[in-house]
Amino acid sequence: MNRQRRRFLKAAAAGGVAYAFGRTPGTVWAQSAGTGGFADYKALVCLFLFGGNDSWNMVVPTSTAEYNAYSRSRGGGTTSSLAIDRTALLPVTRVGQVAGDPTFGFHPSMTGVRDLFNAGRLAVLPNVGPLIAPTTKAQYQTAASTGHPLPPQLFSHNDQQDQWHSLRGRTVMRSGWGGRVADVLASRTADQQLALNVSLAGQTFFQAGEVARPYVSGATGAATFTGFGTTGVAGGRKTSFEAVLAASTGSTGNTMYERGFATVQQRAIRYADRVNAAIAAGPNFAALPNTGVTLTPLQTQLRTVAKMIASRAQLSMSRQIFFVSVGGFDQHDFLLQDQPGLLTNVSNSIKLFHDAMGEIGMQQSVTLFTHSDFGRTLTSNGDGSDHAWGGVQLVAGGAVRGGQFYGEYPLLEIGSVLEVGGGRMIPTVSADQYAATLASWFGVTDADLAKVAPSINNFGTRNLGFMA
């Protein structure tokens, strides 16, 4: 091992490099100066449902033929049935729906999301997933011999999470599509006092750019250095440490690793103070209050997002992408027992966050969208479902053309034209199209869309139309 690298690792172990690199604004890219900034503010909020949400129970057909196919595929009438009773579903009417069209309902636990859909503030993408090119059942079945491009390692948690995060297809990438949005908008967001990408749920591939680096915070704000303060001994300790770091970064006698470590620590202190001050100045939202109500961990993350959005002017922010997450969706067992609680949390959290944005007049400027590892099998494994491919995603916000489905909801029938075995459905809308639509609304030009969504040119429709 190189001697300088050994010295750096030894110093890092003593000084907490995991905190410095992994959990602080030291990962923020020092954006280069540029021109042409935005005159408005927009934010995207990615809500990742880790484990693979069984979304065929989240939005369910209620018209007779379509519901009967769903029920048969999900084992209706058997002891291993995963089907939701049709009378329990929350019915909705889609914009433009006419007599004879299939009808649908939300899971009985999702009243908040149902209300947003009916208010035209939430849209449904009924069969979306990672695709490199449009794929038929025949192309899927013969891909090994014909070379038709399929995402690698389908049905694998880690690989499909990476596909959603990066849209990489079969190409090795070190960046996610949220990070690449930050890259292409760098010259227009150079005056921002914080990274464009902010995670409230740990480091994520989704927000890593080729150049841009995300800011990683805790669920309630930035962690601070123990023993630091603004007055007395604690204030003096902080001032002295900052002086040592300044000397280290400016010393030509130090190694590149030592200077780099000092720079990370400088940014950690600077941005933690800045972010926490902005959060402290944020309002006490009635929808997501500071006290008096016990929030779920997801709602706590979204409350911090809301406070940061409320403090956008203080941080000179015009564009932000936030990442929040909730787990527990890998439901091989106890699906009907546990899914209601999981979907209640998701539904209520989306509705409360939307209401909080209404309190500060930002509903039109903030769009929340869901991702998950993959959809689940239609078929039951006895008490749950297994890993699959296409599934349902949701988009919520004042700028969303809600009350509609974007893409065709598939016939949930074993042996149907999109079912490829075990109740796994081929997506008919690609994750690239989904991301490109959001990125276009956010301010990415059409010329730059392929940098964000590398496979977008393989699809005839670049913008799905769910954003105003």
What is the DSSP secondary-structure string of 76-125? TTSTT--PPPGGGSEEE--TT--TTS--EEE-TT-HHHHHHHHTT-EEEE
Distance from C-alpha of 394 to C-alpha of 69, rounded to nearest angstrom: 23
Are 61 and 102 a contacting pair, CB within 8 Å?
yes
Task: Indicate the pTM of the whole model.
Answer: 0.89
pLDDT value of position 36: 58
The amino acid occupying position 438 is L
The amino acid occupying position 3 is R
- 273-to-2, 16, 266, 267 alpha-carbon distances in Å: 35, 18, 11, 10
- 371-to-70, 208, 231, 425 alpha-carbon distances in Å: 23, 17, 44, 17
Look-up: residue for tokens 């800045």? 274
Strand order, beta sheet including 90-92: 59-61, 104-106, 90-92
Coil, strand or helix at 23 = coil
Going by C-alpha positions, the residue among 206, 123, 196, 203 that lies closest to residue 444 is: 196
Look-up: residue for tokens 């690609």? 430
Distance from C-alpha of 75 to C-alpha of 189, rounded to nearest angstrom: 52
pLDDT value of position 24: 33
Distance from C-alpha of 163 to C-alpha of 158, rounded to nearest angstrom: 9
- Cβ–Cβ contacts within 10 Å for residue 54, how many? 29
Coil, strand or helix at 308 = helix
Going by C-alpha positions, the residue among 375, 455, 445 that lies closest to residue 56 is: 375
pLDDT in tens, the chain (468 residues): 444 444 433 333 333 333 333 333 333 332 333 345 999 999 999 999 999 999 999 999 999 999 999 999 999 999 999 999 999 999 999 999 999 999 999 999 999 999 999 999 999 999 999 999 999 999 999 999 999 999 999 999 999 999 999 999 999 999 999 999 999 999 999 999 999 999 999 999 999 999 998 999 999 998 777 777 778 887 788 788 878 888 888 777 788 888 878 777 776 777 788 888 889 999 999 999 999 999 999 999 999 999 999 999 999 999 999 999 999 999 999 999 999 999 999 999 999 999 999 999 999 999 999 999 999 999 999 999 999 999 999 999 999 999 999 999 999 999 999 999 999 999 999 999 999 999 999 999 999 999 999 999 999 999 999 999
Coil, strand or helix at 291 = coil
Number of H helices, E strands in the chain: 14, 11
Residues 6+ apart with CB under 8 A from 244: 262
CATH 2.60.40 fits 43-229+282-458, yes or no: no
Are 438 and 430 a contacting pair, CB within 8 Å?
no
Residues 6+ apart with CB under 8 A from 70: 56, 60, 61, 76, 83, 378, 412
- Cβ–Cβ contacts within 10 Å for residue 408, how many? 12
- 339-to-107, 149, 330 alpha-carbon distances in Å: 10, 34, 10
Give me the residues paired with residue 371 across strands: 48
From the centroid of its chain, how far is CA 170?
21
- Per-domain residue ranges of the chain: 43-229+282-458
Going by C-alpha positions, the residue among 203, 163, 197, 218 that lies closest to residue 45 is: 197
From the centroid of its chain, how far is CA 239?
38
pLDDT value of position 31: 31
- Cβ–Cβ contacts within 10 Å for residue 293, how many? 11
Helix axes 177-184, 431-442, angle to 10 degrees: 30
pLDDT value of position 15: 32
Coil, strand or helix at 396 = strand
Are 322 and 182 a contacting pair, CB within 8 Å?
no
Coil, strand or helix at 15 = helix
pLDDT value of position 251: 78
pLDDT value of position 455: 98
